[in-house]
Amino acid sequence: MIKDFDNWNSKKKSVNEKDVKDIFFKEREVWWVNLGLNIGFELDGKSKDFSRPVIVFRKFNKDTFWALPLTTKIKEGRYYFSFCLPSGLKNSVNLSQLRLIDRKRLVAKLGYISVDDYKTLQEKISGIINKKAI
């Protein structure tokens, strides 16, 4: 598949110039973000905005956070966690795609994941991070 990196580069320039003084986020929130086009097996954003929903997993400061990208393709396994949004839409989180995001990429807040799902998500990420190397 040929990716349209030229259009993403143009979009990325406008995202970089975005005024973000009125954008605030918290852990557990689900947001659309301009994730962009990425390399290889890294998850891409979709549509003309190159966006994808993510969970704000860990907030570091007013500008950056760890994001976990969502997919509506329900997947099972060590590196996936499935849950339902309050709207009832079922999603899977790709735990291996955890990445740092700047708030300039934020587009629109979709809602929150439940406290229980967030605790389970924290436990799964902790299990991956704390696994000893072979």
CA atoms within 13 A on the CB side of 97: 24
| Selection from 44, 69, 45 nearest residue 57 by Cα | 69
For the chain, domain boundaries: 5-129
Q: Is 42 exposed, middle or buried (0-12, 13-18, 19+ CB in 10 A)?
A: middle
The pLDDT of residue 5 is 64
Residues 5 and 11: their CA atoms lie apart, in Å, by 10
Q: Which of 9-13, 20-24, 71-75 has the highest mean pLDDT?
A: 20-24
Of 9-13, 52-56, 63-67, the range with the lowest mean pLDDT is 9-13
- Name the token pair of 65: 């956070």
Residues 66 and 60: their CA atoms lie apart, in Å, by 8
pTM: 0.83
Q: 133 versus 58: which is more confidently predicted?
A: 58
The three-state secondary structure class of 72 is coil
The pLDDT of residue 69 is 93
5-129: CATH class? mainly beta
Strand partners, 71: 92
Percent of residues, the chain, with pLDDT higher than 90: 45
The pLDDT of residue 72 is 82
Residues 118 and 121: their CA atoms lie apart, in Å, by 5
The pLDDT of residue 11 is 64
> Cα 5 vs. chain centroid, distance in angstroms?
20
The pLDDT of residue 6 is 62
Residues 90 and 83: their CA atoms lie apart, in Å, by 6
For 61-112, the pLDDT digits (tens) are 999 999 999 888 888 888 899 998 878 888 899 898 899 999 999 999 999 9
Asked if 44 contacts 74 with a C-beta cutoff of 8 angstroms, the reply is: no
Q: How high is the mean pLDDT of the chain?
A: 84
